[in-house]
Amino acid sequence: DIQMTQSPSSVSASVGDRVTITCRASQGISSSLAWYQQKPGKAPKLLIYAASSLQSGVPSRFSGSGSGTDFTLTISSLQPEDFATYYCQQANSFPYTFGQGTKLEIK
Amino acid sequence: EVQLVQSGAEVKKPGESLKISCKGSGYSFTSYWIGWVRQMPGKGLEWMGIIYPGDSDTRYSPSFQGQVTISADKSITTAYLQWISLKASDTAMYYCVRKIPASGTGFDYWGQGTLVTVSS
C-alpha cells in the first residue's frame, strides 16, 4: 500500500494568514492526489483533485501543487470558515489511502 | 442534482449482522465507482473499498478484505456495505463516496454518513 504522510498534524493560524500543508507519498503517484476539508460533524468535502485542479464551487484562495511524492495545499488568506481538518488522499492505485489529517485551529 | 443518501444510524450487538445502504440519484449510477470510507470516533479517514456498479468490479483495502462485503443493485441505484459478524471495533461513521471518473482523481460526492454503534 502507498502510505501518505501529512505535516504538520496541527497548525494554529490567524484570519488572513497564509497556510501551507504538505503531504508526502511513500512512492510516486504522479498527480493523483486529492485534498479534502472536514468540519466537525460533517462529511468531508473535496477541495482539490489531480493535485492542482480546483473543485467547482471551492474558493480560489485554496490551491494545490506537486507531483510524484511531494504535494502541498495552500490557503492564501485564511477565512473564519476555513478552520477545519484537512486530508490528502492518493488516487493513483488501489487501495486508495488517506493521510492522517491536519487540524487547522484558530490562534 | 447528484445525491448519495445513506441509511440511518444503527445500534447493534457484537456478533450481529448488518447491511447499510447508499442510494445514488441525479447521475448515471452504473458509470461511476462508489466507495466506502470509515471514520472511527475522533480519528481520520480510512478507505475501505470500492465497486463499479456497471459490472460489479469490486476492490478492497487489505485492511478490510474479508471483514466486509461491498455490493450494488443497479436496478435501484443502491450500494451496500455488509458485515456478517460485527465487533465493537466496527463502531464508526461510514461514508459512501462517488469517484470522479477520470483516473487519478478523488471523491466528489459524499453521503451524509451512517453511524454504526456496536455495543453489548
> Which one of A46, A54, A85 would you mutate to disrupt binding with B, by most B Cβ within 10 Å of its Cβ?
A46
Q: Is the pLDDT of residue B16 over 90?
A: yes
> Which one of B1, B37, B47 would you mutate to disrupt binding with A, by most A Cβ within 10 Å of its Cβ?
B47
Give A31's contacts in chain B (Cβ within 8 Å): 104
Q: For B14-34, give one letter per residue: b (16+ CB within 10 A) or e.
A: eeeebebbbbbeeeebeebbb
Residues B34-90: tens digit of each pLDDT: 999 999 999 999 999 999 999 999 999 999 999 999 999 999 999 999 999 999 999
B66 touches chain A (CB under 8 A): no
- CA-CA distance, A65 to A47, in Å (whole number)? 12
Q: What does pLDDT average to over chain B?
A: 97
- CA-CA distance, A78 to A14, in Å (whole number)? 7
Q: Which residue of B has its CA nearest to A89?
A: B106
- CA-CA distance, B83 to B71, in Å (whole number)? 12
Task: Report the candidate in A80, A95, A52 with the shortest Cα–Cα distance to residue B45.
Answer: A95
* pLDDT over 70, % of chain B: 100
Q: Is the pLDDT of residue A79 over 90?
A: yes
- CA-CA distance, B65 to B38, in Å (whole number)? 14
CB A47 within 8 A of CB A58: yes
CB A79 within 8 A of CB B80: no
- CA-CA distance, B31 to A75, in Å (whole number)? 33
Averaged over A85-94, what is the pLDDT? 96
- pLDDT for A47 equals 97
Single-letter residue type at A30: S
Single-letter residue type at B113: G
Averaged over B15-37, what is the pLDDT? 97
Chain B closest CA to A45's CA: distance in Å? Answer: 8
Residues A1-18: tens digit of each pLDDT: 999 999 999 999 999 999
Residues B99-113: tens digit of each pLDDT: 998 877 899 999 999
Task: Report the candidate in B35, B51, B49, B48 with the shortest Cα–Cα distance to residue B92.
Answer: B48
Averaged over A72-101, what is the pLDDT? 96
Q: What does pLDDT average to over chain A?
A: 96
Give A37's contacts in chain B (Cβ within 8 Å): none
Question: Would you tell me which residues 15-54 of chain B have a C-beta closer than 8 angstroms to some C-beta of chain A?
Answer: 35, 44-47, 49-50
Q: Provide the terminal-to-terminal Cα distance of chain A, rounded to the nearest Å.
A: 36
- pLDDT for B46 equals 97
Report residue B45 as a C-alpha cell: 479517514
Residue B59: other Cβ atoms inside 10 A: 17
Question: By three-state DSSP, how is residue A30 classified?
Answer: coil
Task: Report the candidate in B106, B101, B32 with the shortest Cα–Cα distance to residue A64.
Answer: B106
- pLDDT for B54 equals 95
- The answer to whether the Cβ–Cβ distance between B47 and A89 falls below 8 Å is yes
